[in-house]
Amino acid sequence: MQTLDEVDYVSGRTRVFGIVGHPIAQVRSPEMFTAEFRRRGVDAILVPLHVLPEDFALVLPQLQRLQNLGGLVFTIPYKAQACALAEVLGGQAQAVGAINALARAADGRWRADIFDGLGCVEAFRRRQIPLAGKRVLLMGAGGAGSAIAAAVARERPASLAIYDVDPARAGALAVKVGATHAAAATVENVDVLMNATPVGMLDDARLPIAASTFPRGLVVFDAIVKPETTPLLALARSCGCVTVGGREMMLGQISKMVDFFYGS
Amino acid sequence: MQTLDEVDYVSGRTRVFGIVGHPIAQVRSPEMFTAEFRRRGVDAILVPLHVLPEDFALVLPQLQRLQNLGGLVFTIPYKAQACALAEVLGGQAQAVGAINALARAADGRWRADIFDGLGCVEAFRRRQIPLAGKRVLLMGAGGAGSAIAAAVARERPASLAIYDVDPARAGALAVKVGATHAAAATVENVDVLMNATPVGMLDDARLPIAASTFPRGLVVFDAIVKPETTPLLALARSCGCVTVGGREMMLGQISKMVDFFYGS
């Protein structure tokens, strides 16, 4: 029953999920996860939970005692620290050393994994762009880059090369996921170019690669969500390249995370 | 922006409120408070928080550390125990020894009060039915009755008499709020009859008073929310009495509690 005195999207039976971060106002998960719950006909909502760094270790284990809490999403600065809350760590989380989803499983145990990279792969799957057999260059070996590298490595690309402004960081990640370390960012002999650096975010007009044109057959991916069309994606489109954006990765990730929250 | 990928009723900027109880599925506060927030143009949501009795003392102080938590509502079985979470107890809470609202005040302190009784008084005010100068008989001296007695006593009725199946409980409450103890429930010399017992709830077809008719001028109030028309209210209406129901009390209470949460 919806009347003027009641809303129809939350009740005593609604399962509650949260996104934990600091700061919190900028997160997009509440509106996006809740939309995905609705699309699936699930009575659930995801709300922002602003936890200060000095409170994290005390607050989180108590939040886990809320009986109708279905799970938590973690964002900056908690993705590594949150690993300690899980009883079972998924393969991606083990490879990356961080989580972004913690789910109360049907058996009552807390399972965790990280879905940034799986979201990237899911975005390619939805667009029917295969990664198997392709030569991939990934730029950026930070948090997002690590997760994307771990997920892409599982897709059996012909090769996965990782570039980072910090060669040691790129090298360490390459070893971890069985990839190679690219000394420079160039699209020569590359089928798929992926950006996981922050270059091009918000008002940053720079490209993450020294290039003025791309071959038409190159597929270009950018993990950046804002703006939707980064300078990199704008250049790629102007060259006729197929592009995949951060919002697609985010939607793919949310879908995978809701699967995870609901045990599929 | 509302798209298929996003809902428009929760975001990273939404202030979060919760209702804490055990069990939780039956509560009506989430849909009703959230509707009141929306009506006022406030970006806030109230979600159910199911806390087990053995977890209450550990979980609640940690919930209070959530920076975007605006306040909590308490229901069965926590109204008395929750007093310990407050730094400042309001007058009604002091009189009743229980709270149902805990608010993070502008100065950062946690203020608490109980609004069941104030909600009843607010329902009368909205209907422009004065309690001042009236002879009131209140049936039931339990949790709801105590709160209603404390609030009605402040309205300067000509008299307030309290009846309970347990005479000692009625007597103790009468002393506490400066009322008199009624040895029997009768509408003789009564202007306003109030039911705060559970008699008539859900499928209970009984009346809380031995009566087959009421004088037309009697005002009859019932705190029961389900059903909206209790056997008591049905009889009162059949006798031409003005009636005030539990849902009106609940709406009055919600309005007063949102005032409290937002510092007015």
Question: By percentage, how much of chain A surpasses pLDDT 90?
Answer: 93
User: Partners of B49 in the beta sheet?
Assistant: B20
The CATH H-level (homologous superfamily) assignment of domain B117-249 is: NAD(P)-binding Rossmann-like Domain (3.40.50.720)
The pLDDT of residue A3 is 60
Which residue of B lies nearest to A22 if distances are taken between CA atoms? B67
pLDDT (mean) for A5-33: 96
CB A160 within 8 A of CB A179: yes
Is some CB atom of chain A closer than 8 A to the CB atom of B193?
no
Closest CA to B173 of B204, B147, B212, B134: B147
Q: In this structure, are residues B258 and B37 in contact, taking their beta carbons and an 8 Å threshold? A: yes
Quick check: A54 contacting B, CB < 8 Å? no
pLDDT in tens, B193-245: 999 999 999 899 999 999 999 999 999 999 999 899 999 999 999 999 999 99
Inform me whether the pLDDT recorded for B157 exceeds 80.
yes
Whether B246 shows a pLDDT value over 90: the answer reads: yes
Residues A19 and A27: beta-carbon distance below 8 Å: yes
- pLDDT tens-digit readout, A153-162: 999 999 999 9
pLDDT of residue B3: 60
Check CB contact under 8 Å for A6 and B65: no
Q: Are A38 and A8 in contact (CB under 8 A)?
A: no
Which tens digits make up the pLDDT trace of B123-134? 999 999 999 999
- Residue A2, pLDDT > 60, answer no
- Averaged pLDDT, B43-52: 98
User: Using CA atoms, how far apart are residues B144 and B148, in angstroms rounded to an integer?
Assistant: 6
Yes or no, beta carbons of B59 and A45 under 8 Å apart: no
Best of B10, B59, B64 to disrupt the A interface (most A CBs within 10 Å) is B10
Position A161 scores a pLDDT of 98
Distance CA B114, CA B151 (A): 10
Q: In this structure, what token pair is assigned to residue A106?
A: 């049907």
* Gap from A14 CA to chain B (nearest CA, Å): 7
- The pLDDT of residue B2 is 47
- How far is residue B251's CA from residue B158's CA, in Å, rounded to a whole number? 26
Which region holds residue A156: left if phi is over 0, alpha if psi is between -120 and 50, else beta? Answer: left
Nearest CA in chain A to B24: A12
Which residue type sits at A166?
A: D
Please check whether residue B96 is in contact with residue B150, taking contact to mean a CB–CB distance below 8 angstroms: yes
Note if the pTM is more than 0.80: yes
For residue B262, CA distances in Å to A264, B35, B101, B106, B108 come to 41, 15, 12, 9, 13
**Token duo for residue A54:** 């000095």
- Rounded CA gap, A185 and A165, in Å? 10
B62 touching A (Cβ < 8 Å) = yes
Tens digit of each residue's pLDDT (9 = 90 or more) over B65-79: 999 999 999 998 999
Pairing of strands A69-74, A15-21: parallel
CA dihedral defined by A160, A164, A167, A171, rounded to 10 degrees?
Answer: -30
Residue B86 has pLDDT above 80, yes or no: yes
Q: Which residues of B touch A19 (CB under 8 A)?
A: 12
Q: Kindly provide the ipTM of the predicted complex, given to two decimals.
A: 0.89
Find the mean pLDDT for residues B92-98: 91
At B176 the pLDDT is 93
CA triple B179-B196-A1, angle to 5 deg: 145
Residues of A in contact with B251 (CB under 8 A): 5
Give residue-wise pLDDT tens across range A206-225.
Answer: 999 999 999 999 999 999 99
Average pLDDT score over chain B: 95
For the residues B94-104, what does the mean pLDDT come to? 94
Domain ranges of chain A: 15-114, 117-249
Q: 């057959």: which residue's tokens?
A: A217
Report the mean per-residue pLDDT for chain A.
95
pLDDT-derived band at B263, boundaries 50, 70, 90 = confident
Common-topology check for domains A15-114 and A117-249: yes
A52 touches chain B (CB under 8 A): yes
Strand B101-104 and strand B135-139: the pairing is unpaired
CB distance A7–B50 less than 8 Å?
no
Asked if pLDDT for residue A37 goes beyond 80, the answer is yes
Q: How far is CA A153 from CA A117, A118, A171, A246, B221, in A?
A: 10, 11, 15, 19, 69
| Out of A31, A48, A62, closest to residue B62 by CB | A62
- Asked if CATH classification 1.10.340.30 holds for the domain at B15-114, the reply, yes or no, is no
DSSP character at residue A77? T
